[in-house]
């Protein structure tokens, strides 16, 4: 199964600790050998690292592990190919521009008999069901609004689009424009909100501990979302199947 990792914060934060455990699921502690990617928003800009090598061997993953990029929104994905061959064009996350903002999307699952018509504004480059779903969501939003709508209206529209797409299969996904992050669960997705008083966390996949009290300010708030919990001494909240959550400023803002 693919793995998703997301982070949404109220202040730019590095994802090194979470990525340390996560990237090992790309071919070392789990079987995912079909590429991986990670997108970091920095202000309106976005940095997207993609690699079609397993993340446990990837020189790009080695760079990301060593480079403390400070970001308010991050989406990472490790791929186990189901629909579409292995290759860069089929590597998540995918990027598009809409309303003068970059949008990033990654998906875990598979959609059966899902062939949306080519859009006016957005079309897939690769051959995955995932990029087709991303383009369909973007196309519908762009057709409806010429500029960013009020957030609650956007939320309701994404919820309705998600309902129609998940009728085709498993649709765990994350979607962000650098201001907020949508996370939808079909099968497995968990999150944790870290805020003061910060404590110590210990990775599940590796014997690494961090004391967040040493690396945070009292007002920091960081939501981390992952397919499976990454630490073994914290309480992760399971996102329920069919539940969509909009994270903003490091916490859930809207939940279905």
- Positions in 26-55 near its own copies (CB under 8 A): 42-52
Q: Please state, in angstroms and rounded to a whole number, the distance separating the CA atoms of residues 176 and 89.
A: 20
Q: How many residues bind its own copies (CB under 8 A)?
A: 35
Tell whether residue 121 is a contact of its own copies (CB under 8 A): yes
Mask for 70-99, x = binds its own copies (CB under 8 A)? -----------------xxxxx---xxx-x
Spatial separation of the C-alpha atoms in residues 40 and 14, rounded to whole Å: 10
Known catalytic residue at 2: yes
Nearer to its own copies, 53 or 195 (CB): 53
Contact of 122 with 116, CB cutoff 8 Å: no
Half-sphere exposure of 132 (CA within 13 A, CB side): 18
Contact criterion met (CB below 8 Å) for 188 and 109: no
- Tell the smallest beta-carbon distance from residue 136 to its own copies (Å): 14
Q: How far is the CB of 165 from its own copies (least distance, A)?
A: 19
Residue 136 Cα distances to 100, 105, 110, 161, 231, angstroms? 18, 12, 15, 9, 34
Of 46 and 189, which CB lies nearer to its own copies in the complex structure?
Answer: 46
Name the residues that contact its own copies, by CB under 8 A.
42-52, 59-60, 63, 66-67, 87-91, 95-97, 99-102, 118, 121-126
Residues catalogued as catalytic = 2
């Amino acid at each position: 199964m693919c793995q998703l990792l997301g982070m949404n914060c109220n202040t730019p934060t590095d994802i090194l600790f979470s990525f340390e455990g996560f990237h090992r699921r790309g071919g070392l502690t789990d079987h995912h050998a079909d590429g991986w990617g990670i997108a970091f928003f920095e202000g309106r800009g976005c940095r997207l690292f993609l690699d079609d090598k397993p993340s446990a061997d990837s020189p790009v993953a080695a760079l990301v592990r060593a480079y403390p990029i400070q970001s308010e929104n991050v989406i990472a994905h490790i791929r186990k190919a189901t629909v579409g061959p292995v290759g860069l064009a089929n590597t998540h996350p995918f990027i598009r521009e809409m309303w003068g903002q970059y949008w990033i999307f990654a998906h875990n699952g598979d959609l059966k008999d899902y062939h949306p018509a080519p859009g006016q504004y957005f079309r897939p480059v690769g051959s995955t069901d995932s990029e087709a779903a991303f383009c369909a969501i973007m196309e519908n939003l762009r057709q409806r609004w010429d500029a960013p709508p009020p957030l609650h209206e956007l939320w309701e529209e994404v919820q309705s689009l998600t309902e129609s797409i998940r009728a085709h299969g498993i649709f765990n996904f994350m979607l962000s424009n650098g201001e907020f992050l949508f996370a939808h669960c079909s099968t497995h997705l968990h999150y944790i909100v870290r805020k003061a008083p910060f404590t110590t966390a210990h990775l599940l996949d590796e014997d690494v501990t961090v004391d967040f009290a040493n690396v945070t300010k009292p007002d920091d708030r960081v939501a981390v979302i992952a397919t499976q919990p990454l630490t073994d001494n914290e309480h992760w909240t399971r996102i329920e199947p069919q539940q969509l959550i909009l994270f903003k400023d490091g916490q859930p803002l809207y939940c279905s």
